[in-house]
């Protein structure tokens, strides 16, 4: 069981908006530690999609956006495209473990 909780799957039609939640606790997100998001396409290594909750690395489309609320973070994909079909993971630091923790991953399906 992962320290950060994500829904196993979300889906949407092309062009729609989907959101993925990442719920933590007082020892990670709730303590103010940053949240990152990664996209994992089949057969490839994870790719950094968002860092520090809302910052996109160069090359990541602005269809992807991040936010924070209390002990949770969210990743939104607007204008969903077929190429967005992938697994998405959130990640943060946990003071209890003194290390990084990941969510269980969310599979995004484009209908």
Partner 1 sequence: QVHLQESGPGLLKPSETLSLNCIVSGASITSDYWSWIRQSPGKGLEWIGHIHYSGTTNYNPSLTGRVTISVDTSRKQFSLTLTSVTAADTALYFCAKLGSRGFDEFDPWGPGTLVTVSS
Interface with partner 1 (CB under 8 A): 2, 33-34, 36, 38, 44-48, 51-52, 55, 57, 89, 91-93, 97-105
**Alpha-carbon Rg of the chain, whole angstroms?**
13
Residue with Cβ nearer partner 1 (2 or 17): 2
Cα–Cα dist 106/89, whole Å: 7
In the block, residue with structure tokens 């690395």: 57
Q: Is 47 strand, coil or helix? A: strand
Name 75's bridge partners.
20, 66
Smallest distance, partner 1 to C-beta of residue 52, A:
5
Smallest distance, partner 1 to C-beta of residue 16, A:
25
Residue with Cβ nearer partner 1 (16 or 100): 100
């Amino acid at each position: 069981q992962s320290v950060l909780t994500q829904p196993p799957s979300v889906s949407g039609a092309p062009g729609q908006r989907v959101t993925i939640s990442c719920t933590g606790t007082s020892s990670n997100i709730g303590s103010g530690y940053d949240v990152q998001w990664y996209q994992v396409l089949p057969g490839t290594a994870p790719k950094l999609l968002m860092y520090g909750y809302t910052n996109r690395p160069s090359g990541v489309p602005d269809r992807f956006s991040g936010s924070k609320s209390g002990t949770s973070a969210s990743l939104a994909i607007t204008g969903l495209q077929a190429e967005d079909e992938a697994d998405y993971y959130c990640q943060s630091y946990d003071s209890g473990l003194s290390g990084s923790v990941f969510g269980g991953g969310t599979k995004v399906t484009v209908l």
